[in-house]
Structure 1
Amino acid sequence: MKNLDRRNFLKTAAHSAAIVGTAAVVGGCAAKADGVVLKSQGASVMGLAIPKMNVVRVGFIGVGQRGSGHVKHYCHLDGVEIKAICDTQQNVIDRSVKYVVEQGFAKPDVYTGSEHAYRDMLARQDIDIVIIATPWKWHTPMSVETMESGKHAFVEVPAATTLEECWQLVNTAERTQKNCMMMENVNYGREELMVLNMVRQGLFGELLHGEAAYIHDLRWQMKELDESTGSWRTYWHTKRDGNLYPTHGLGPVSQYMNINRGDRFDYVSSMSSPSLGRKAYTEREFPADHERNQLKFTAGDMNTSIIKTVQGRSIMVQHDTTSPRPYTRHNLIQGTNGTFAGFPNRIAIEKRTREIQSAYDKEYQQQMDDWNASGKKGWEPAKSSYHGWDQDMDKWYEAYDHPLYVRMGEEAKRNGGHGGMDFLMMYRIVYCLRNGEALDQDVYDAAAWSSIFPLSMASVADRSNSKNIPDFTRGAWKTGKPLGIVS
């Protein structure tokens, strides 16, 4: 790009950011007043489908722990050109550039040297989409500037950390008519896809309640002092008290419930436990005069938030990255005909489908045959029912595996990324862009799911009183088309 072009871009981006920032303050107020909806600065992007791209030209901002994996996945997708890579650390740039070249791609251009080097990359005209995998504070600013530069933004979770930022993303996407997708990879896990398929087929009846969580002992990240996630994520526990990371569990449950596509979040109430675990860990693992022992941790070790939807459903969302307990996202969905729950996967159904009932009957008959052959008397195996969990998932996978996973699951596992869900997500992004289809997740999802971050904190600070969740769709949720089961 010519210097003049770059100056014009930066001037436009700065001006647009100022406009968006002003609107965002209004948006923050709108969240506190019932029935107030911001006037759109452009057409709705609900169901946005852009013209087909023959080749998807990609730029990356941030190629550290998460970003380097994204680079690798794009090297194994058809119809992709990796044009540029940006990061502040030369060693991670070199690692990703080396991998790209080894896979037979042309050497991507490199942008580094300052925190704002990415703006030089955004000034180019030969990039279609930008993958953003940076610390949380950069997610919204980089996404906004990406869309303002005429490119589509794909950003790591959470997409925003304040209500003002949520509105910035929505306003910019509507004004520029560009995609802004938060890359909630958990929506592409095998179990989550299967449950979505089950829900769409009505297996659980009318949905009533969901449970979502991110419970993951990450205290060890506090030992990452100079780089990697712990070098910046640790400090969020000293600045906020609420759900710092809501979307991994909430994203799938939201898609089960058609949030923003027939239902939407209405309000949330939140409370936190005491903040004890991280202080105890630093005292045990660091010298008394170490910087980590000077921190005052404010985030409760366990945060529990309850969301009420407009259609009356309830969703429990929990966050705990401090306590010594096994990993779980809960992934529970409950309806009038039964329940699925994760970690471990288990299911209880009142009225079974014919295919599943047949599988149960065969299993029951085999147990009876084995028992009779043993010559023992006085016992008979009980048929499974909704009063007990069924944890044998093979028959459920066989009957309800999502068609996308049936087709791409093995390739996803070969390419890796949280068991393949990262690769499957990237595959779907590229597929939708190349085929002119709407993405599976949009900016309204990014805003709604991320909004629990600041709203849970506001509720905790206000004795757990409920906080209204803005309608980021401005009413379009009433007619939004539910996410279908793609083949």
Structure 2
Amino acid sequence: MTTQFNRRNFLSASAALAGGAMAGSTLLPGEANAATAGGRDKVRLGVIGTGMRGQVLLAELVRRDDVEVVALCDIEPIMLKHALGQVEKAGKPRPRTYGEDRDQKAYKRMLDAGGLDGVIIATPWEFHAPMAIAAMQAKIPVGCEVVAGITLQDHWDVLNTQLKTGTPYMLLENVCYRRDVMAALQMVRAGLFGELLHLQGGYQHDLRAVKFNSGNPAKPYGGGVEFGEKGWSEAHWRTQHSVERNGELYPSHGIGPCAMYTNINRGNRFTRINAFATKARGLHDYIVKQPGGAQHANAKVKFKLGDVVTTTLACENGETIILQHDTSLPRPYSLGFRVQGTDGLWMDLNNSIHIEGVSKPHQWDDFKAYQDKYDHPVWRKYAAKAEGAGHGGMDFFVIHAFVEALKANAPMPIDIYDAVTWSAITPLSEQSIAANFQTLDFPDFTGGQWKSRKPIFALDGKY
């Protein structure tokens, strides 16, 4: 890795000794009980990273009466200004701000100042692990955007810090809260698909106009072929990962729901992993097809990331899972979910389902009637509040889950074991591809506790 990804220059972090384990979570994204021992009615939160994603999450925070946003940190003054505008428009008190001086350690000053019941981390990927570690060491609960870390060691460091400090950590994976995904979970719990055998998911999203732009802060998507120092927003940092890395770079959108369906870390675990990558053509082709792109210096950049990366996981209980990462080619958006068991299957691409004995042989049924019947209780309860929230309401639910767990002092619904297990797919897939698509053992981050931990998202919607 280049110095751009050397987090040790950003924060010196060493592995901590593992302590006691976090209890298995049974929390749902429903209402917390403030009467729980030590519970509270309101929490004071800080946000590290107020870029495009940070502002989406901030929008959910400032519309809640049970949240006070008391601190914001970003080393890009323009983004910090936009975030302050969001808070002001919501009629909330002005939070403390850090990072106007572009000091990359400004977030540490925010953590050291105290007065926080939790912190949201929405920065570039390479900063997630050191920032989460620093927050947990300061005893400040963490809600971290995906991914949890870059290297496999990052994941062990984050895990060991959480175990040593006991500080809550939640991975803010919003797709676990997508309405059809949660309805399918209800169907799995009800046994509608029979015994599960095979699942699929992924991140299939044309990001070419995200990875390249003109460098104009007013136009963060498309309009040019700049990235890195001359790019803006995600083009400033995300594209470099496509230059230097080849693997399943963004696994949690696909694996999160699949892990929930198969009870990973809660009676099941991943045992083996391998990954394959196609050649890399899409990003170069995009550059040279833009006006003046063929003559641009970036037309000579060699991208390492295969255009389609396919990762296969084997599970202890006999299921297989396939993930596909496809972000460099022209295509409509799809996460490509498939849940298949002995009695039928659901696929999100065509919103279809087939249940033996109910569906006509060899024919699909429309999923909507099933989704309505098995709609998750929290969607039934909070659909109106989620209306207008980011990503079709999912961002309301993931923030809601984090806040409610904080208020109740309850276990995080997507906890530290989930976070590192899902996110570690990235460095393991990179290792597999680099070793000529070798199949690898998947580490057991729970240290054997997966055998006794209980599933989350109970069928009745209670916790």
Aligned residues of 1:197 and 1:402 also touching (Cα < 8 A): yes
Aligned residues of 2:168 and 2:411 also touching (Cα < 8 A): no
- Amino acid across the alignment from 1:400: Y
Distance 1:230 1:47 in 2: 38
- What do residues 430-469 of structure 1 show as CA deviations (whole Å, max 9, x unaligned)? 1222223322100111111111101111111112111111
Which piece of structure 1 moves more, 217-226 or 227-236?
A: 217-226
**Residue in 2 aligned with 1:459?**
432
C-alpha displacement of 1:46: 3.2
For residue 65 of structure 1, the aligned residue among 25, 34, 52 is 52
Distance 2:240 2:78 in 1: 24
Higher-Rg member (1/2):
1
C-alpha displacement of 1:273: 0.7
**Residue in 2 aligned with 1:296?**
302
- Amino acid across the alignment from 1:196: L
Matches of residues 229-244 of structure 1 in structure 2 within 5 Å?
229-244=234-249
Distance 2:62 2:350 in 1: 33
**Residue in 2 aligned with 1:317?**
323
**Residue in 2 aligned with 1:105?**
92
Structure 1 pair 201–90 and aligned structure 2 pair: CA distance change class (3 A): same
C-alpha displacement of 1:149: 0.9
- Identical columns (%): 37
**Residue in 1 aligned with 2:22?**
45
For residue 133 of structure 1, the aligned residue among 103, 119, 122 is 122
**Residue in 2 aligned with 1:385?**
360
1:142 paired to 2:131: yes
C-alpha displacement of 1:165: 0.7
1:170 paired to 2:159: yes
Aligned residues of 1:199 and 1:256 also touching (Cα < 8 A): yes
C-alpha displacement of 1:161: 1.7
C-alpha displacement of 1:101: 2.2
- What do residues 184-203 of structure 1 show as CA deviations (whole Å, max 9, x unaligned)? 11001101111111111111
Matches of residues 344-423 of structure 1 in structure 2 within 5 Å?
344-352=350-358, 384-391=359-366, 393-414=367-388, 416-423=389-396
Aligned residues of 2:15 and 2:161 also touching (Cα < 8 A): no
**Residue in 2 aligned with 1:440?**
413
- What do residues 207-263 of structure 1 show as CA deviations (whole Å, max 9, x unaligned)? 111001101111112323432112211111111111111111110010010000010
C-alpha displacement of 1:351: 3.9
Task: Give SS of 1:123's match.
Answer: helix
- What do residues 259-285 of structure 1 show as CA deviations (whole Å, max 9, x unaligned)? 000101111011111111111111222
Distance 1:248 1:121 in 2: 30
Task: Give SS of 1:267's match.
Answer: strand
Task: Give SS of 2:14's match.
Answer: helix
- What do residues 16-37 of structure 1 show as CA deviations (whole Å, max 9, x unaligned)? x2343xxxxxxxxxxxxxxxxx
- Amino acid across the alignment from 1:280: D
1:203 paired to 2:208: no
C-alpha displacement of 1:345: 1.4
- Stretches of structure 2 that go unaligned for 5 or more consecutive residues are 1-9, 28-36, 214-226
Distance 2:81 2:115 in 1: 22
- What do residues 273-320 of structure 1 show as CA deviations (whole Å, max 9, x unaligned)? 111111111122243442322311011100111100111110001001
C-alpha displacement of 1:183: 0.7
Distance 2:55 2:92 in 1: 16
Task: Give SS of 2:71's match.
Answer: strand
- What do residues 335-381 of structure 1 show as CA deviations (whole Å, max 9, x unaligned)? 111101112211000144xxxxxxxxxxxxxxxxxxxxxxxxxxxxx
C-alpha displacement of 1:385: 2.1
Aligned residues of 1:338 and 1:386 also touching (Cα < 8 A): no
Task: Give SS of 1:82's match.
Answer: strand
For residue 426 of structure 1, the aligned residue among 375, 381, 399 is 399
Distance 1:173 1:131 in 2: 16
For residue 341 of structure 2, the aligned residue among 316, 325, 335 is 335
For residue 42 of structure 2, the aligned residue among 52, 55, 61 is 55
1:187 paired to 2:176: yes
Q: TM (normalized to structure 1)?
A: 0.84
C-alpha displacement of 1:394: 3.1
Distance 1:56 1:410 in 2: 23
Distance 1:99 1:247 in 2: 28
Q: TM (normalized to structure 2)?
A: 0.88
Task: Give SS of 1:211's match.
Answer: strand
C-alpha displacement of 1:53: 3.1
Aligned residues of 2:143 and 2:402 also touching (Cα < 8 A): no
Question: Between Structure 1 and Structure 2, which shows a larger proportion of helix residues?
Answer: 1
- Figure out how many residues of one structure are paired with residues of the other and give that number: 422
Distance 2:15 2:427 in 1: 22
Aligned residues of 2:19 and 2:163 also touching (Cα < 8 A): yes
- Amino acid across the alignment from 1:230: A
Aligned residues of 1:268 and 1:305 also touching (Cα < 8 A): yes
**Residue in 1 aligned with 2:449?**
476
C-alpha displacement of 1:121: 0.2
- Amino acid across the alignment from 2:23: M
Aligned residues of 1:47 and 1:439 also touching (Cα < 8 A): no
C-alpha displacement of 1:397: 2.4
Distance 1:164 1:181 in 2: 19
Distance 1:155 1:291 in 2: 35
For residue 203 of structure 2, the aligned residue among 214, 218, 227 is 214
Distance 2:106 2:232 in 1: 19
Aligned residues of 1:214 and 1:321 also touching (Cα < 8 A): yes
- What do residues 79-129 of structure 1 show as CA deviations (whole Å, max 9, x unaligned)? 111110000111211111122122221110000121110010000221011
